[in-house]
């Protein structure tokens, strides 16, 4: 083939061949293949393979409120240590205002408080101390809460046996979860819906009057039973030991009590637990999960081995789920599901099948139309179009992009739009053929003159696609990816492949005249 540099032919042919070769893994699509080559396949989005997408929001307000409560408790203790009386404590709008009876010790209290809560903003005026939960302090709470939540969510999901979950922070206070292939999102939601804060408190069975009057004396709290909220317990507010000291928890079976959870403390926890139980033999010990009493057995003897079991009216699943939660640890704050999208495998498979049919029929229609309109030139454009599809698929596979349902729509749309560059070229060639007689010159001019238009036209589509990627989420990003790749691939196939094929066609047929 004269008029056409060999290096150019070589480049075009090898790029197209690469496109075909690298689309094989996606076209074969062996899900479990470990083969290094076949692994380069397209990832299917959750909407195509089935699975659950969950967006969780960490309830930071709960944490802020908790922290404000901690402030008041600490101030009360400090006041007692400094023998100062508190007139009143007001908690409102992220601040705690403490009014003392006098200001004799207010500076000492302020300094000790600052030692406990570094970085907190404190203000003294007369005998009033204002503790402010400012944005900076909130941010530290927020960051550590999200970090901790992420870790615990990850542990819980791993324990639930979900394969290849994606768990990541999203924005300021959200956690995004993608769980491919999850058939029962309800159980996952159940697992994530619990804070799972486990604490052990002594039961105060002496102060029956306070319990009946529903008044909490200082340092005590009234808590209800998990199975019957009419049953109340008066407990020490301070917990003897908590879930943070657990090293293991398992679902187990107890001869008399049925399904139970057995647990083991670390050394520190074992010591605390041993000391607390030996000092309080005969009293009851309440086990609290997320602020309600699961069980409150009497301490018959000191438990020094650091292990024990929690019984309740569990069934096997509940006991093992509770064990999962305890092993993973407590969430710093409750999580709320703010968005859920779960797709069953059936719908996903239907979508893929429908997408394939739509793409195939769309392709056939466009190809037939092109041949009807442009004859052999149309056939050349069709070869480019098919190469275009292979290149899109191979790119999707090698960059590890995710194909979604809108992504399939993007490919079908590309099929319709990709011939545009070819059409622009053919129309220019048609015009050139009216004023020129040398066929190769006509083709060359046609390409040269169509070039800037092709670039202008495609760049505007790319701009829209890129912005869609920047602002879109999930499945929509899949659309912008296939559309962008389609636009880029179509410029390559039109300007390089169609060009090559036209020269080849003209060399072989030895045409002296171009009638388009």
Partner 1 sequence: MFGLNKIIPVEPNINFLRLRRNFLIISSIAIIASIVLLFFKGLNLGIDFKGGTLIEVSTKNTSIGELRDILSVSFNDVSLQEFGNENIILIRLQNKNNQESIETINNVKDIIQDKVVEFRRSEFVGPTISSELLYRGFQAVSFALIAILIYIWLRFEWQFGFGAVVALTHDVIFTLGLLSILNVEFSLATIAAILTIAGYSINDTVVIFDRVRENLRKYKKLELVDLFNLSVNNTLSRTVMTSLTTLLALFSLFIFGGEVIRPFALTMIIGVIIGTYSSVFIAVPTLLIFKFRPQDDDD
Which residues within the stretch 385-424 sit at the binding site for partner 1 (CB under 8 A)? 405-406, 408-409, 412-413, 415-417, 419-420, 423-424
Scanning residues 212 to 271, which ones bind partner 1 (CB under 8 A)? none
Q: How many whole angstroms separate alpha carbon 397 and alpha carbon 60?
A: 40
Q: Exposed, middle or buried by CB within 10 Å (0-12, 13-18, 19+), for 15?
A: middle
132 near partner 1, judged by CB under 8 A: no
Q: Which is nearer to partner 1, 303 or 359 (CB)?
A: 359
Compute the C-alpha angle 309/313/318, nearest 5°. 80
Q: Which is nearer to partner 1, 327 or 444 (CB)?
A: 444
Q: Which of 461, 496, 504, 507 binds partner 1 (CB under 8 A)?
A: 461
CB of 56 to partner 1, least distance (A): 10
170 near partner 1, judged by CB under 8 A: no
Task: Show the binding pattern over residues 359-388: x = contacts partner 1 (CB under 8 A), - = does not.
Answer: x-xxx-xx--xxxxxxxxxx----------
One-letter-per-residue 3-state SS of 380-399: HHHHHHHHHHHHHHHHHHHC
Q: How many whole angstroms separate alpha carbon 399 and alpha carbon 25?
A: 13
CA distances from 398 to 25, 52, 402, 448, 478 (A): 9, 25, 11, 32, 15
Q: Exposed, middle or buried by CB within 10 Å (0-12, 13-18, 19+), for 379?
A: middle
Considering only the stretches 17-25, 211-219, 321-329, 346-354, report the one whose residues sit in contact with partner 1 under the rule CB under 8 A: 346-354
Scanning residues 172 to 191, which ones bind partner 1 (CB under 8 A)? 185-186, 189
Considering only the stretches 37-45, 251-259, 390-398, 425-433, report the one whose residues sit in contact with partner 1 under the rule CB under 8 A: 425-433
CB of 342 to partner 1, least distance (A): 5
347 near partner 1, judged by CB under 8 A: yes
- Spell out where 267-358 has E strands: 285-289, 292-295, 307-314, 335-343
Q: Can you read off the two tokens belonging to residue 225?
A: 């039973």
468 near partner 1, judged by CB under 8 A: yes
Scanning residues 497 to 516, which ones bind partner 1 (CB under 8 A)? 515-516
Q: Can you read off the two tokens belonging to residue 42?
A: 């397209």
464 near partner 1, judged by CB under 8 A: yes
**Per-residue DSSP letter, 103:** S
Report residue 178: phi and psi, to 5°.
Answer: -120, 120
Considering only the stretches 8-16, 19-27, 228-236, 335-343, report the one whose residues sit in contact with partner 1 under the rule CB under 8 A: 335-343
CA distances from 1 to 9, 408, 436, 447 (A): 10, 38, 21, 18
303 near partner 1, judged by CB under 8 A: no
453 near partner 1, judged by CB under 8 A: yes
Considering only the stretches 208-216, 261-269, 271-279, 338-346, report the one whose residues sit in contact with partner 1 under the rule CB under 8 A: 338-346
Q: Which is nearer to partner 1, 53 or 500 (CB)?
A: 53
């Amino acid at each position: 083939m004269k008029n056409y540099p060999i290096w150019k032919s070589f480049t075009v042919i090898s790029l197209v061949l690469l496109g075909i070769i690298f689309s094989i893994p996606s076209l074969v699509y062996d899900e479990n293949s470990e083969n290094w080559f076949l692994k380069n396949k397209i990832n299917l989005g959750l909407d195509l393979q089935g699975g659950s997408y969950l967006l969780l929001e960490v309830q930071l307000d709960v944490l802020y409120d908790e922290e404000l409560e901690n402030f008041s408790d600490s101030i009360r203790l400090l006041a007692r240590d400094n023998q100062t009386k508190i007139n009143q404590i007001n908690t409102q709008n992220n601040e705690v205002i403490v009014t003392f009876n006098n200001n004799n010790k207010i500076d000492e209290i302020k300094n000790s408080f600052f030692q406990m809560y570094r970085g907190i903003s404190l203000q003294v005026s007369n005998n009033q101390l204002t503790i402010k939960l400012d944005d900076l302090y909130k941010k530290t709470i927020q960051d550590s809460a999200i970090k901790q939540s992420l870790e615990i969510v990850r542990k819980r999901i791993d324990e639930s046996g979900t394969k290849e979950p994606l768990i990541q922070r999203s924005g300021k206070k959200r956690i995004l979860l993608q769980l491919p292939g999850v058939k029962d999102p309800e159980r996952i939601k159940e697992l994530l819906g619990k804070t799972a804060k486990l604490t052990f408190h002594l039961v105060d069975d002496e102060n029956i009057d306070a319990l009946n009057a529903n008044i909490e004396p200082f340092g005590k709290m009234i808590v209800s039973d998990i199975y019957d909220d009419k049953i109340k317990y008066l407990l020490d507010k301070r917990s003897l030991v908590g879930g943070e000291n657990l090293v293991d928890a398992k679902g187990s079976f107890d001869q008399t009590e049925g399904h139970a959870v057995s647990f083991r403390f670390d050394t520190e926890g074992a010591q605390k637990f041993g000391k607390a139980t030996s000092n309080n033999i005969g009293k009851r010990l309440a086990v609290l999960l997320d602020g309600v009493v699961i069980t409150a057995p009497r301490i018959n003897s000191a438990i020094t081995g650091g292990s024990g079991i929690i019984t309740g009216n569990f069934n096997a699943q509940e006991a093992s789920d509770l064990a999962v939660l305890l092993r993973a640890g407590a969430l710093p704050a409750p999580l709320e599901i703010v968005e859920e999208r779960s797709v069953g495998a059936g719908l996903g498979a239907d979508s893929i099948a429908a997408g394939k049919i739509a793409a195939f029929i769309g392709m056939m229609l466009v190809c037939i139309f092109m041949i009807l309109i442009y004859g052999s030139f149309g056939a050349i454009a069709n070869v480019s179009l098919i190469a275009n599809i292979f290149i899109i698929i191979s790119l999707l596979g090698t960059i590890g992009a995710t194909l979604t349902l809108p992504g399939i729509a993007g490919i079908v749309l590309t099929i319709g739009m990709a011939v545009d560059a070819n059409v622009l070229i053919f129309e220019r060639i048609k015009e050139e053929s009216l004023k020129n007689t040398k066929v190769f010159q006509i083709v060359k001019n046609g390409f040269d003159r169509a070039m800037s238009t092709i670039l202008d036209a495609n760049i505007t589509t790319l701009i829209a696609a890129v912005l869609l990627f920047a602002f879109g989420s999930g499945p929509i990003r899949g659309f912008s990816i296939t559309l962008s790749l389609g636009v880029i691939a179509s410029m390559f196939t039109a300007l390089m492949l169609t060009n090559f094929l036209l020269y080849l066609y003209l060399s072989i047929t030895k045409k002296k005249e171009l009638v388009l």
